[in-house]
Amino acid sequence: EEEEDEEEELKAPEQEVQLDVDAITEDEKQAIPEFFEGRPSKTPERYLKIRNYILDQWVRSKPRYLNKTSVRPGLKNCGDVNCIGRIHTYLELIGAINFNCGNAGPREPPITAVFTCPTKHKPLVSLCVVSEQAIYHRPRIVDKSRLKEGRDAVEAYQLAQRLQSMRTRKRRVRDTWGNWCDAKDLEGQTFEHLSAEELARRREEHRRRVPRPSKVPRQGKDSLDPFQLIPCKSFGEDKQEPFRVVVSAAAMVVMDMHAHVSMAEVIGLLGGGYAEGDKVLKICAAEPCNSLSTGLQCEMDPVSQTQASEALAGRGYSVVGWYHSHPAFDPNPSVRDIDTQAKFQSYFSRGGAQFIGIIVSPYNPSNAAPQSQVTCLAVSEESSAGGPRRLPFKFEMHPSPEEPDWPQVLRKARWVIDKYRLSHGSVPMDRLFHRDSDLTCLEKMLASMRSSLDFLQEDAVTGFLAQVETLFLSWFVAESRSGYTEGGDAASPGECPSGSEEM
């Protein structure tokens, strides 16, 4: 007896979706993965160009239906017609284009087709191709007479079904104990990174309290928890620093400020240059980036990464490193951090360049001092004795004597405030940062920033920190306290009168 093949009914979106033209969502990356797999001909930038062009054409054509054929002439040399069609289908399915176009436009005579499963020899998908209807409005009628003409349509319909299933299926991840849970339950949380011994002890306690599931995937003998911290080794007589790291005060201040505003990990790029003859890697600027954070990990948004790289290049710098925060735990790299650093080093070493990573820890409970803990590291070619993991080594950071470009740093302060003042997980800057301190988080941040500027003239440093304090009190603390809601009339920090240029 044959089983019935169940087909999921495609549902029309309930409301029109507005996408940020400068950002790519995680759903898009899962729906159209071919542009995010490192292919030279299909890049995130090319996807963004195709998607934004289709969105622009929809704005111009609404309420008339925007079909795939009409957008292809403007997308020459941007990709094959199939990938453009898949992006069009995805945008239509989520309601970004052709919203409420179910009955719009003239109709062509319907083309019907039936598609047979090769193993069961029974109807698999039947549909009616109507050129001016959104895919979720097209009826499906069985007719074996026009198989060839309906092939493109059935591929589009199958893609739509897959995308809808992806949208409605809850994303499951593992928590710190290895149990499956909803990813949304972990968003915005800061996870405590532990030593191997402490992690093993806590897991054993948890195992005694909670019955172990009957089926749990076992880790291999050599596998490590990706969030376990690995202490950095120090350079010495046996292994000397391969180069000297010099960091500007401007870069340190921007990284420190960025790390203080969020209890979720933040991320950014470092710009500068490498002097081969002197063996000196100089960090001149830090460029904050948007992150794709699930609470468990922090990854750089590819569009923001490209924009940051271009911004650094526009100032005459090469990308020589990356930074991220460990908001409330030690600034040692996790297993995942080491893997990321190794990939970066491998990529940039092809041109003979050097590449380092910096970790900033502003609110480590074990550190009652106002100064943030900072680690600068690279990974060696040698592996650890217990497995294939490469070893992290810590560099000493030497301050650069140049005075910062104060207006440029203030522009970064405005960007940080505007980005995080109302975001989930933003730090309440008017609260005490530590139980053994009487400093607020804002005062603690200013004190930490001052420690990177102590070699400069006092008047210049005091004036700069006063401007930063005013910006945060006016646009970060005040709005967080007042519960500013979307749609209000409040200005952004970039609109406040300070005499400095905009971002």
State yes or no: pLDDT of 282 exceeds 90: yes
pLDDT in tens, 397-415: 999 999 999 999 999 999 9
**% of the chain exceeding 90 in pLDDT:** 41
State yes or no: pLDDT of 6 exceeds 80: no
Q: Which residues contact 230 (CB under 8 A, 6 or more apart)?
A: 332, 333, 334, 335, 338, 389, 392
Single-letter residue type at 195: S
What local confidence, expressed as pLDDT, does residue 26 receive? 83
What local confidence, expressed as pLDDT, does residue 159 receive? 63
Higher pLDDT, 349 or 456: 456
Higher pLDDT, 492 or 382: 382
Alpha-carbon distance of 404 to 117, in angstroms, equals 68
pLDDT in tens, 438-493: 999 999 999 999 999 999 999 999 999 999 999 999 989 866 555 544 434 333 44
pTM for this entry: 0.56
pLDDT in tens, 85-96: 889 988 988 889
Alpha-carbon distance of 157 to 238, in angstroms, equals 63
What three-state secondary structure class fits 114?
strand
Rounded average pLDDT over 12-33: 86
What local confidence, expressed as pLDDT, does residue 44 receive? 87
What local confidence, expressed as pLDDT, does residue 250 receive? 97
pLDDT in tens, 217-250: 444 445 567 888 999 999 987 889 999 999 999 9
Burial of 332 (0-12, 13-18, 19+ CB in 10 A): buried
pLDDT in tens, 136-174: 655 544 444 444 445 555 666 666 666 655 554 455 555
DSSP letter string, 164-219: HHHHHSPPEEE-TTS-EEEGGGGTT--PPP--HHHHHHHHHHHHHHSPPPS--PPP
State yes or no: pLDDT of 24 exceeds 50: yes
What local confidence, expressed as pLDDT, does residue 153 receive? 59
What local confidence, expressed as pLDDT, does residue 164 receive? 56
